[in-house]
Amino acid sequence: MDFSLDDGWQIHPLGGNTGTAYMGFKEQEKLFIKRNTSPFLAALSLEEITPRLVWTKHISTGDTLTAQEWLNGRCLSKEEMGQENVARLLARIHRSKILRKMLRQVGGRYVFPEEILSNYFRGLSLELRAHPLLKKVANRLRTHQPKLDHREFKVSHGDLNHKNWLLSDNNRLYLVDWESARLADSALDISMLMCQYVPRAEWKQWLTEKYGVSITIGLRQRISWYYMVNLLLSIKNEHQRGHFFEMNRDILRLADFFENQDFI
C-alpha cells in the first residue's frame, strides 16, 4: 500500500501476516506505525499495556494510521511465558475496570462459550467429526458449557502467542496486537496461555502465586472446559493445514486431560 507522511517521514513495511505494520523513520527518530488498528489502542496506551500512542491520523485512502513509540526489545520465548511478569500483566488487564469500560465504548463484542464451540463444528471435516475421542469430548463440552453472567466478563486479548509479548530493553513488558480483543470469561485467556506454555503440574502454582487468584470449583471447571475446546480448535486447524504430527500430539494431550481432569 502506498501512502506518505508529511515533514519528511519515510515508511518501511515490516512484513507479517497482515501487511499493516510499518516503521516510520525521520533522521534519528523512529515510530511503529500500523494501519486500521483497533480504537481500543488509546486506552491500552494510557494504561501502559502497549507502547505509548503518539498520534492517530486519517489519510486520503480512508485508512487510519496510528503511531506508537518505537521500543528496542524482543519477543518473549516460549520458555519465558510461564513467568510471573506475564501472569501479573494478564491479571492486571483482566481486573481493569477502565479497560473493560473503554472496550465496551468502542464496540467490543461479547464472546460466549457456545460461540467458541460452534467455531469448532463449523467446517469440521468428516474425519474429525467421526473421531471417537473428539466426538466424545465435543459432546461433553456441549452439555457442560460454563455458566457466567456476561456482566462478569473481562477484557480478553484473544491471541496470547509468545510473539505478542514485547520485553523492552529497559525490562518493561507489553502485550501487543489487540485486533482480536473481546469481552469474555477471563478463564478463556488463562486456559489459552496455560495450554500452550505452562506444564500441567505447575498450573496450581501459576494460578495462585503468579496470577493471584483463589481456585474455586467453578474456576477449575471453566479452565478445564476452555482448555479442551482450545485443544479441539488446535486439532482442527492442524488437520486443515496438514500438520498431522502436531495434530496427533494434541489428540494425545486431549485424551490424557479428558481422562484426568482433576489437575489442581
Q: Going by C-beta distance under 8 Å and a sequence separation of 6 or more, which residues neighbour residue 53?
A: 41, 42, 45, 66, 67, 68
Nearest-10 crossing angle of helices 132-143, 244-259: 50
Closest CA to 67 of 31, 36, 35, 18: 31
Q: How many CB atoms lie within 10 A of CB 57?
A: 13
If you write DSSP's letter for every residue of 27-66 in order, what string do you get? TTEEEEEEES--TTHHHHHHTTSSSPEEEEEE-TTS-EEE
The rounded distance, in Å, linking the Cα atoms of 227 and 225 is: 5
26: which strand partners? Answer: 29
Helix-then-strand count for the chain, H and E = 10, 10
Give me the phi and psi of 71, to 5 degrees please. Answer: -110, 130
Show the cell assigned to 42: 488509546
Give me the phi and psi of 169, to 5 degrees please. Answer: -65, -20
Q: Is 220 helix (H, G, I), strand (E, B) or coil?
A: helix
The rounded distance, in Å, linking the Cα atoms of 119 and 240 is: 14
Closest CA to 140 of 261, 263, 250: 261
Q: Which residues are designated catalytic? A: 159
